[in-house]
Amino acid sequence: MDKTDWKLLKEIADLEKTPQGAYNIRVNGQMDSRSTTANIDITTKTDGKSGIDIRVKPGTKKESVHIPVIIHATGFTELVYNDFFIGEDCDIDIVAGCGIHNTGCETAQHDGLHTFYIGKNSKVRYVERHYGEGEGTGERIFNPQTVVYLEEGASIQMETTQIRGVDSTKRDTKIVVGKNAEAVITEKLLTHGSQTAESDMEIILDGEGASGRVISRSVAQEESKQIFYPKMTGNNKCFGHVQCDSIIMGNAQVSSIPAIVANHVDAQLIHEAAIGRIAGDQLLKLMTLGLTEEEAEEKILDGFLQ
C-alpha cells in the first residue's frame, strides 16, 4: 500500500493506519491484508464467487469490522459478494467503502453485493463511503447492492455517503424488518459534472412493531442527474418515515419518487420530500459576514450534508 492508497483509506474509512479489531483490506481485487478476532471470523468465499464471509459470534459487543476496498488500476472492474452473519445479542460497527483512484482512460468499477443476516436483538452500525479521484479520463463507477434481514428486536443503522468523484452509481438497498426490529438509513449524496446517481430503496416492515426511517440528503450540481425511489411497505402494525431533501444547482436535475404502501390497518407511514435551490437569504447572510459567494455556498452545503 502506497501513499495514494492510504489517502483513499482515509477518505473512505477514516483510517490512517491498520485498523483495530477485525479487518480485510482489498486492493485491485486481491486481499492485501486481513485480521480476525476471537469473536469475528473472516473467510474467503470458496463457492467460486469473489468475496468474503464475515461471521460474528453471538454476544459480541463493542467490536468493529473494517472491510475497505481500493482500486487504482484503470480498466479494472469487479463484482464482489460479501455476506455478514451476525449472531444474537451483538453490538458492532461495520465500516465498508470503496475508493477508486483512476489515472487512466478506462473505466474502473466496483460492484458489491452485501447481504446481512442480523440475529435477534443485535445492533449493527454499518457505514459505507464511496469516493473517486484521479486525473484520468476513465470513469469511476459504483453499483452497491445491500440486502438486510433483521430478526426480532434487531436493528441496523446504515450510513451511506458518496461525496464527489463518482461518475455513475446505481444503489440498491432492500431491508426486511422483523418483529420490533428497526432500520434507519441515512443517505448522503453529492453529484457534479455530468455524473448520474440512482438510488432504489425498499424497506419492508414485516413484523409487528417494526419501524423504518430513511433520511436522504443530496446535492446535485452542474449537469448532474439524480433519481430516488425510496419505498416503504407496511405489512403489519408498524411505523415508517421517509424524508428526502435535495439541493439543486446549475443545470442539474433531481427526481424524487417515493412510495408508501400500507397493507395493514395499523401501518402508519409518512413521507416528505423537498427539492429546491439554496435559499438566497442564507447566502446573503453568510456573505455579509465576509464570505465570498462560493465560500458561503460551500458552508451551506457542508452543513446540509453534515
Does residue 57 contact residue 40 with C-beta atoms inside 8 Å?
Answer: yes
Strands, E, within 106-222: which ranges? 108-118, 123-133, 140-150, 155-163, 168-177, 182-191, 196-205, 210-220
Nearest alpha carbon to residue 171 among 188, 149, 151: 188
Residues 264-283: x/- map of binding to its own copies (CB under 8 A)? -xxxxxxxxxxxxx------
- Amino acid of residue 252: A
Whichever of 25 and 232 has its CB closer to its own copies, that residue is 232
Whichever of 48 and 280 has its CB closer to its own copies, that residue is 280
CA neighbours closer than 13 Å in the CB half-sphere of residue 160: 25
Residue numbers 21-60 binding its own copies by CB under 8 A: none
Whichever of 54 and 269 has its CB closer to its own copies, that residue is 269
Residues 6+ apart with CB under 8 A from 292: none
Minimum distance from residue 81 beta carbon to its own copies (Å) = 31
Whichever of 87 and 258 has its CB closer to its own copies, that residue is 258
Residues 200-239: x/- map of binding to its own copies (CB under 8 A)? ----------------------------------x-----
Residues 182-201: x/- map of binding to its own copies (CB under 8 A)? --------------------
| Interface with its own copies, residue 61, by CB under 8 A | no
State the DSSP string of 134-163: -SSSS-EEEEEEEEEEE-TT-EEEEEEEEE
Single out the residue of 54, 71, 248, 286 in contact with its own copies (rule: CB under 8 A): 248
Single out the residue of 113, 260, 287, 301 in contact with its own copies (rule: CB under 8 A): 260
Give dist(CA 56, CA 204) in Å, integer. Answer: 25
Cell of 286: 453568510
Quick one: which segment of 31-39, 247-255, 281-289, 292-300 binds its own copies (CB under 8 A)?
247-255
- Amino acid of residue 288: T
Whichever of 69 and 242 has its CB closer to its own copies, that residue is 242
Residues touching its own copies, count (CB under 8 A): 31
The Cβ of residue 43 has, within 10 Å, a number of other Cβ atoms equal to: 12
Residue with cell 416492515: 205
Cell of 303: 452543513
Single out the residue of 44, 194, 253, 292 in contact with its own copies (rule: CB under 8 A): 253
Single out the residue of 74, 102, 211, 246 in contact with its own copies (rule: CB under 8 A): 246
- Amino acid of residue 123: K
Q: Footprint of its own copies on this chain (CB under 8 A)? A: 234, 246, 248-263, 265-277
